[in-house]
Amino acid sequence: MTGRYRLGVMPGDGIGPEIVPAAVRVVDAALAAAGAQPVDWHELPLGASAIDAHGSAVPAATLAALAALDGWLLGPHDSAAYPEPYRSQLNPSGAIRKRFDLYANIRPARGFAGGTAIAPDTDLVVVRENTEGFYADRNTHAGTGEFMPTADVAICHGVFTRTAIERIARTAFELARRRRNRLTIVHKANVLQLTSGLFKRVCLEVAEGYPDVAVDDIHIDAMTVHLLRRASSFDVVVAENMFGDILSDLAGELAGSLGTAPSINASDERCMAQASHGSAPDIAGTGLANPVAMMLSAGMLLDWLGTRHGDRRAADAAVRVEDGVRAAVRGGVSTRDLGGTASTDEFTVAVVERIAGA
């Protein structure tokens, strides 16, 4: 692809209006350093401000605009603070993921030199199935998938399909081939023999098409222990929705903190960069927010674009984003949550300077 990418920007709530523009600045710097065309950015309303202005946390006009763009940056949302009825509706991130069938949530966890990681040698990726499993708000055509037959009984259901498992397994195996050719299937097939059992069996079937990738499988409860004891021995981990969510948060904390944990939500045709952490309303507007996760998520979007379009310069820019962020932290520049003194803007400037000087 030789033209300009058209990327959506949804700052969101809380610290979003601080960290998302920081990520935009870093993407612009990395593309310029790689000799690539600049991005056409399109800011779109979403979250609390959209409720005030448009009567919806995810306006129909925003969804229509997203469909015409090459990718998106989504800031954090504070849906728990929305007034009713918006608080009880599917949150903005979930609504977008469901609308565009963003079935793969890819969350790397890699320790930072100079950071505060519990396990600094962590270097793994959790590939999380993003549409089914035990998260009931995503696995039904309409409604939340939860119900209460009486005021004292609450029930939800989980959904597992061969189609969804096959495609997330293929995504995980393809990623393993780009990394260290190892993949771990996480499940609970010993107890949930039909649902989690299907997940395990189908992943192992897909594995037959990837003889170059070493495969093992571990129960979810045991996996938490293995991550704590030997995170560095894992490469790519594939799991259903809820298990993947839990494991990726754990891995992110081992590698530094959720403030450094990036992610993308992707299908075969679309990709949304979204940091793993929340909106941190208690520090919003203070300049204390850590933009690392959002910056690295934006870098992952560039890598996805580069892979999908065979765009060497976008892929190069993705590497420059990560290298610039890591060089800043390694050089002693970080926000307070990582033990430093830099403001959001000061850290962003440091990253841009290192990208430009690379």
Assign residue 229 the CATH number of its domain: 3.40.718.10
Q: Does one domain contain both 87 and 145?
A: no
Q: Does one domain contain both 82 and 153?
A: no
Is 135 assigned a catalytic role?
A: yes
Catalytically annotated residue among 40, 121, 221, 268: 221
pLDDT for 257: 86
Q: Does one domain contain both 17 and 59?
A: yes
Report if residue 11 sits inside a domain. Answer: yes
Nearest 5 degrees, angle CA 110-CA 113-CA 117? 60
Q: Which of 139, 216, 129, 138 lies closest to 169, judged by CA?
A: 129
Q: Does one domain contain both 72 and 46?
A: yes
Domain stop point among 191, 224, 255: 255
Catalytically annotated residue among 135, 200, 235, 303: 135
Residue matched to tokens 């939800």: 156
Report if residue 260 sits inside a domain. Answer: no
Q: Is the peptide bond before 85 cis (omega within 30 degrees of 0)?
A: yes
Its domain, for residue 154, covers 118-255
pLDDT for 138: 61
Tokens of 147: 């119900």
pLDDT for 291: 97
Q: Does one domain contain both 319 and 352?
A: yes
Q: Does one domain contain both 242 and 273?
A: no
Catalytically annotated residue among 70, 78, 235, 245: 245
Q: Does one domain contain both 273 and 239?
A: no
Is 86 assigned a catalytic role?
A: no
pLDDT for 338: 87
Is 210 assigned a catalytic role?
A: no
Report if residue 287 sits inside a domain. Answer: yes
Domain stop point among 255, 281, 305: 255
Cβ atoms of 26 and 351 closer than 8 Å:
yes
Q: What is the pairing mode between strands 71-74 and 271-274?
A: parallel
Is 221 assigned a catalytic role?
A: yes
Q: Does one domain contain both 153 and 67?
A: no
Q: Does one domain contain both 96 and 49?
A: yes
Catalytically annotated residue among 101, 123, 137, 249: 249
Report if residue 261 sits inside a domain. Answer: no
- 358 residues of the chain, pLDDT tens digit each: 557 999 999 999 999 999 999 999 999 999 999 999 999 999 999 999 999 999 999 999 999 999 999 999 999 999 999 999 999 888 999 899 999 999 999 999 999 877 778 899 999 999 999 999 887 666 566 666 778 899 999 988 889 999 999 999 999 999 999 999 999 999 999 999 999 999 999 999 999 999 999 999 999 999 999 999 999 999 999 999 999 999 999 999 999 888 899 999 999 999 999 999 999 999 999 999 999 999 999 999 999 999 999 999 999 999 999 999 999 999 999 999 888 999 999 999 999 999 998 6
Q: Does one domain contain both 124 and 47?
A: no
Domain stop point among 255, 289, 307: 255
Cβ atoms of 277 and 76 closer than 8 Å:
yes
User: Rounded to two decimals, what is the model's pTM?
Assistant: 0.94
Is 188 assigned a catalytic role?
A: yes
pLDDT for 135: 78
Tokens of 334: 């970080």
Q: Does one domain contain both 340 and 243?
A: no
Q: Does one domain contain both 224 and 195?
A: yes
Burial label for 208, CB within 10 Å (0-12, 13-18, 19+), is exposed
Report if residue 107 sits inside a domain. Answer: no
Report if residue 138 sits inside a domain. Answer: yes
Report if residue 264 sits inside a domain. Answer: no
Strand partners, 264: 106, 273
Domain total in the chain: 2
Burial label for 319, CB within 10 Å (0-12, 13-18, 19+), is middle
Report if residue 113 sits inside a domain. Answer: no
| Strand ranges, E, within the chain | 6-10, 40-43, 71-74, 104-110, 123-129, 146-150, 153-156, 182-187, 214-219, 236-239, 264-266, 271-274
Catalytically annotated residue among 188, 200, 303, 311: 188
